[in-house]
Amino acid sequence: MIAGNRAINYLRISVTDRCNFRCKYCVPSSPFKVIEHDKIARYEEILRITRLACDLGITKVRITGGEPFVRKGIFSFLEKLCRIDTLKDVSITTNGALLNRKKIRMLMDMGIRRLNFSLDTLDPSKFARITGRDRFNKVWDAIQTAHTMGISPIKINAVALRGVNDDEIRAIAGLTLKYPFHIRFIEYMPMGDSDVEKQQQILTREIQERITETLGPLEPVKLEKNDGPAKKFKLDGAEGILGFITPVSSHFCSECNRLRLTSRGTIRPCLLKNYETDILTPLRDGADDLALKQIIESALTQKPLFHDLGSRTPKDLPISHMTSIGG
């Protein structure tokens, strides 16, 4: 599939909008609506859409959410997903709190070798304040266990926020001196009705300055094909890599190879634009494979060439939470 000169080969699937955490940059502290159970795509429906997307050129899938591991039956779904023979790569983004040695072994036995964890602080009490849950030790244990079991690369996503965890930018970046992890700082994106204020957003340039002031220069690392949007660097003598994901300060739309399937069964060609095409209703109404493929292809024609999240007054901020779209 091609969209404006971009070959689209990467599908991100949100399997649920539910989550066991309440990260302050992701969901609001006030009550919000979750998707009704019968409106969430069932596993067999997700598998059918994925197979069709693979026929159209998708070769990589990332499972996300919400928190993927809160959904019942996730392991047998992942097993079936990994058996799609045209799919070359299956990876997962998780908060890690529900993972342990046995579950990581099950993932490895299916052929999953790449996990992204989210971790915004190394301080257990701050972790509880950011995520609303006192689970730092569980998450850190899961990351260490995955590392010792040979999951590689382990990527850790961190959202730096002024007045929340910006005092730890150095410590988080410094993990790469000790571990072969890829630590990626993601710029906070204003989504839905999150409680985070615009002034708390810290852009990549400032994060990089804070790192270089204390840890020394950042040496650029050559990007490999299919490397994704992170700009990569290494600190002198580091085991791991530092990545910076800059959706706000420098959009990467011209290289974006992604398509999203949301938990409510819509195809979303861009995380940051509100266009979505419902594929679940036609599927449930009996549409054949050809018709469903046409829906995927026509959704792609709406993939924009840029977004304006970095402008002072962005026009159409995403109205959904990241949990329902799948970050």
List residues near ligand SF4 by CB under 6 A: 19, 21-23, 26-27, 65-67, 95, 118, 322-323
Q: Which is nearer to ligand SF4, 52 or 119 (CB)?
A: 119
Between CA 277 and CA 204 the distance in angstroms is: 32
Q: Which is nearer to ligand SF4, 132 or 310 (CB)?
A: 132
Among 15, 26, 99, 146, binds ligand SAM (CB under 6 A): 26
191 binds, among ligand SF4, ligand SAM, none (CB under 5 to 8 A by kind): ligand SAM
- What residue type is 78 in one-letter code? L
Question: For 222, left (φ over 0), alpha (ψ -120 to 50), or beta?
Answer: beta
In the region spanning residues 120 to 159, those forming contacts with ligand SAM, defined by CB under 6 A, are 157, 159
Residue 57 tokens read as: 């050129």
Question: Which range binds ligand SAM by CB under 6 A, 53-61, 97-105, 182-190, 203-211?
Answer: 182-190
Pick from 36, 100, 39, 95: nearest CA to 70: 95
Between CA 244 and CA 208 the distance in angstroms is: 9
Q: Which is nearer to ligand SF4, 207 or 325 (CB)?
A: 325
Residue 156, H or E segment: strand 154-159
Q: Which is nearer to ligand SF4, 9 or 93 (CB)?
A: 93
208 binds, among ligand SF4, ligand SAM, none (CB under 5 to 8 A by kind): none
Question: Which range binds ligand SAM by CB under 6 A, 64-72, 76-84, 102-110, 236-244?
Answer: 64-72
* Cβ-Cβ contacts under 8 Å for 183 (sequence gap 6 or more): 155, 156, 158, 172, 173, 175, 176, 240, 241, 242, 243
Residue reference for tokens 């859409």: 49
Residue reference for tokens 């700009």: 231
Question: Which range binds ligand SAM by CB under 6 A, 36-44, 87-95, 260-268, 300-308?
Answer: 87-95
Between CA 324 and CA 263 the distance in angstroms is: 6
Q: Which is nearer to ligand SF4, 196 or 235 (CB)?
A: 196
Residue 104, H or E segment: helix 101-110
Paired strand residues for 115: 92, 154
Q: Is 8 in the site for ligand SAM (CB under 6 A)?
A: no
> Shortest gap between Cβ of 85 and ligand SF4 (angstroms)?
30
Q: Is 322 in the site for ligand SAM (CB under 6 A)?
A: yes
Question: Which range binds ligand SAM by CB under 6 A, 38-46, 135-143, 186-194, 275-283?
Answer: 186-194
Q: What are the angstrom distances between the C-alpha of 93 and each of 6, 132, 263, 281?
A: 24, 19, 15, 27
Q: Which is nearer to ligand SF4, 200 or 212 (CB)?
A: 200
Q: Which is nearer to ligand SF4, 27 or 242 (CB)?
A: 27
Q: Is 189 in the site for ligand SAM (CB under 6 A)?
A: yes
CA 107 to chain centre: 18
Q: Is 118 in the site for ligand SAM (CB under 6 A)?
A: yes
10: three-class secondary structure by DSSP = strand
Between CA 186 and CA 230 the distance in angstroms is: 9
27 binds, among ligand SAM, ligand SF4, none (CB under 5 to 8 A by kind): ligand SF4
How many amino acids of this chain bind ligand SAM (CB under 6 A)? 20
Q: What are the angstrom distances between the C-alpha of 278 and each of 11, 39, 45, 167, 189?
A: 16, 11, 13, 43, 24
**Which residues sit at the interface with ligand SAM, rule CB under 6 A?**
19, 25-26, 64-65, 67, 93-95, 118, 157, 159, 186, 188-189, 191, 194, 322-323, 327
